[in-house]
Amino acid sequence: QQPVQSPQAVILREGEDAVINCSSSKALYSVHWYRQKHGEAPVFLMILLKGGEQKGHEKISASFNEKKQQSSLYLTASQLSYSGTYFCGTETGRSYIPTFGRGTSLIVHP
């Protein structure tokens, strides 16, 4: 079942923070996060597995809340290079194959 991402779009100025959410109607085993720039292939950012809560580095990190069946991606002090569409992918069983959400468009202005 396709996860639901929110918001659909975010517009920021450089240096501002953003949060992108990914929610599932079923219990999650894992959550994947990818970024896709216009006209390019998606690029893997990170994967969070059941039992883990947080991952990433200072600027881009994600949390995984099993009880709420959701994950959030945090982009701190955004840079122009962060612009793109962010996709989450969720596994609700141990298939190693995520089902992707519809994406969140992030635009960072100077």
Q: Hey, is 10 helix, strand or coil?
A: strand
Number of residues that bind another protein (CB under 8 A): 21
Between CA 57 and CA 79 the distance in angstroms is 15
Per CB under 8 A, contacts with another protein among 37-96 are 40-47, 49, 87, 89, 96
**Interaction between residue 97 and another protein (CB under 8 A):** yes
Q: Hey, is 92 helix, strand or coil?
A: coil
* Min dist. Cβ of residue 2 to another protein (A): 7
Between CA 29 and CA 92 the distance in angstroms is 5
Which residue ranges make up the site for another protein (CB under 8 A)?
2, 32, 34, 40-47, 49, 87, 89, 96-97, 99-103
